[in-house]
Amino acid sequence: MDEHGQAGGRDSDGTDEGRREDGGSDGRVTGVPAGDTLADGSFMPAGRHQSRHWRESTITDDDLTDRGGVFFAAVEMTRMPMILTDPRQPDNPIVFANKAFLDLTGYEEREILGRNCRFLQGPHTDREHVAQLRDAVAAHQPISLEILNYKRDGTPFWNAVFIGPVSNTDGELLYFFASQLDVTKRREAQEGHRQAQKMEAVGQLTAGLAHDFNNLLQVVAGNQELLLREIEAPKSRRRLENAQAATEKASRLTRQLLAFARKTRLDPKPVDLSQAVMSFSDLLHASAGASNDIQMNLRSRLPACLVDVAHLETALLNIVVNARDAMPRGGTITLSTAKLHLNGDAAARELTPGDYVTLSVTDEGDGMSPDLIARAIEPFFTTKGVGRGTGLGLPQVHGFLQQSRGRLEIESEVGHGTTVRMILPVHEGEALPEPQSLEPSTVAGKADRAEQAQGSGEVILVVEDSDDVRALAREHLIDLGYKVVTAVDGDDALAVLERIEHKIDLLFTDLIMPGSVNGLALADEVRRRAPHVPVLLTTGYNEELARKGGPAASGADVLGKPYRRAELADRISSALRSAGNDNPRRRQSDFGAAQA
């Protein structure tokens, strides 16, 4: 046994390769079975003769000879890969290997008998593991560890090796024995679990940061809007507009953080992926750059999948931009859609069996190594230069697909480009919308409508623990024509509702707040007292809402932070209209008489 914990085997024809031409023994053990060979290639535990190599070896021990027949038949028949090496010979060569070892490594016994085991090392075998094995063998001590070895075809595998010395009754070292076990799947499962835990921890951190940043951005963006409404000097307006653009970029960054953490709000609808890609085509061509061509292989009449179109667009743009950056000298980016059925292979892909649709993006870049592929969805990991990438593109895609019950797959080989594939489950439900509905609505379009959405004195209870955000929301709503009552948290809101004698027409509350009553609990209590009062939630992220299955579960709409004044006006107006509050101040409420 050498320092790598590997050893050799027995010729399939049973020849005694350990004998010299003069008929003597050179001390090598060839592994000839003790029992008779059966028709199916197995061996009888008790044969008509003992193994010659044990009786004739210069290092044969009498005790081992006496039980050699049963011992070697058992070793040969076991499913556990086992080997022997001879430390009496130069370089501690392999002298015996059972069939299980040959099956594990892919070698034939004629290729390994008489060789030191170091041939099973490879480029990524840990030198420290090698040193530990070498020291144990030199000290004639048993050792157990897991080491990365390589099969005959170059496939790496994790090998759980136990090595122990075999001595005779006089304490003389005869052999080194080693058992082996392929633990690659277990190691991969453990690594996958560790990676999932790490990603969850980073997700919790990034979600918390995004929530706090969104509150700050809400104050910055809101005050920028208020100043733009007051300032007329062109130079000052340009500066404010530049600041607004920077704020919007920061907002997009926080949305990517939330998407990675799987805490962003999705609005899924039945979508034909091929139609969706076509609706994005102008933007995709612009993002690909002038030096790259886009080729589309889109399957017609593709089954629908349930997906948020806006997030799908963002995910696809992230992948296309990565493909563009992978081809600095230009090339072709191919977008393709297809159907996919998973059955027995579904579990290996961490999906449930069934029908899926795929959207793939293939580039002609330099490709990625396995190590890079393994790290591709880590947040903030990027191979781009400083200032050229945030490392959040593919993590955002990964988070979005996980939220959509799908999967992100990356296929790549160094020098042969990369294919990034989004897999989404087929939706068995309502019919597809018309193709034109696939185009996501723009914020500008909402803003045009929202500027006309003015209130007429409706009373809105604003509940927000951030003083700055609460003051900003109050100013926006008063400017839009509403009456506003404020509270600092859920407990305060319930106390305010007990004190006031006029009704409220709408509850506008933050989702995550300190105290015993969060936004959802407050909404439930308000609905209990006044079932017809609409609720609009706002949050930097909606983790608790997602746990309940999304906004539909609580019956409330959610306005993500940072929001613009126009978006706020539009959502408030829509909530009031949906509740039928055409003239709410003339009605009675469970909170008391309405005041004109």
- Evaluate if residue 50 carries a pLDDT over 50: no
CA angle 313/319/321 to nearest 5° reads 100
Q: Is 307 helix (H, G, I), strand (E, B) or coil?
A: strand
Residue 388: count other Cβ atoms within 10 Å of its Cβ. Answer: 9
Contact 335, 288 (CB under 8 A): no
- Residue 529 to residue 512: CA distance in whole angstroms: 22
* pLDDT tens, position by position, 198-219: 666 666 666 667 777 777 888 8
198 vs 465, residue with greater confidence: 465
- Residue 124 to residue 160: CA distance in whole angstroms: 16
- Evaluate if residue 20 carries a pLDDT over 60: no
Q: What is the DSSP string of 315-379?
A: HHHHHHHHHHHT-TT-EEEEEEEEEEEESTTTGGGT--SEEEEEEEEEE-S----HHHHHHTTST
Residue for token pair 């407990």: 491
Distances 149 to 57, 126, 127, 297, 309 between C-alpha atoms, Å: 30, 10, 12, 41, 46
41 vs 262, residue with greater confidence: 262
Nearest-CA neighbor of 492 among 473, 471, 518?
518
Predicted structure pTM score: 0.47
Please give the CATH number for the structural domain made up of 269-438: 3.30.565.10
- Residue 105 to residue 205: CA distance in whole angstroms: 44
Strand partners, 299: none
CA angle 254/257/258 to nearest 5° reads 90
Which pLDDT value is given to residue 549?
Answer: 46
Which pLDDT value is given to residue 255?
Answer: 66
Which pLDDT value is given to residue 116?
Answer: 87
Residue 524: count other Cβ atoms within 10 Å of its Cβ. Answer: 14
Question: Helix (H) and strand (E) counts for the chain?
Answer: 20, 19
- Evaluate if residue 147 carries a pLDDT over 80: yes
pLDDT band for position 246 (cuts 50, 70, 90): confident
What percentage of the chain reaches a pLDDT higher than 90? 26
What average pLDDT is seen over the chain? 76
Q: What is the DSSP string of 418-436?
A: EEEEEEEEBP-SSPPPPGG
Which pLDDT value is given to residue 297?
Answer: 92
CA angle 168/173/176 to nearest 5° reads 105
Residue ranges of alpha helices (H) inside 261-308 are 273-279, 281-288
CATH says 443-593 is which class? Answer: alpha beta
- Evaluate if residue 372 carries a pLDDT over 90: no
* pLDDT tens, position by position, 54-65: 333 333 444 344
Joined tokens for residue 8: 């050799």
* pLDDT tens, position by position, 396-452: 788 888 888 899 999 998 888 999 999 999 998 655 544 433 333 333 334 444 454
CATH says 52-182 is which class? Answer: alpha beta
Which pLDDT value is given to residue 180?
Answer: 92
Strand partners, 167: 173
Contact 544, 520 (CB under 8 A): yes
* pLDDT tens, position by position, 294-331: 999 999 889 999 998 888 888 898 899 889 988 988 89
- Residue 32 to residue 532: CA distance in whole angstroms: 87
Joined tokens for residue 56: 């004739």
pLDDT band for position 349 (cuts 50, 70, 90): confident
- Residue 409 to residue 374: CA distance in whole angstroms: 11
Joined tokens for residue 176: 């080194």
Nearest-CA neighbor of 379 among 559, 265, 258, 470?
258
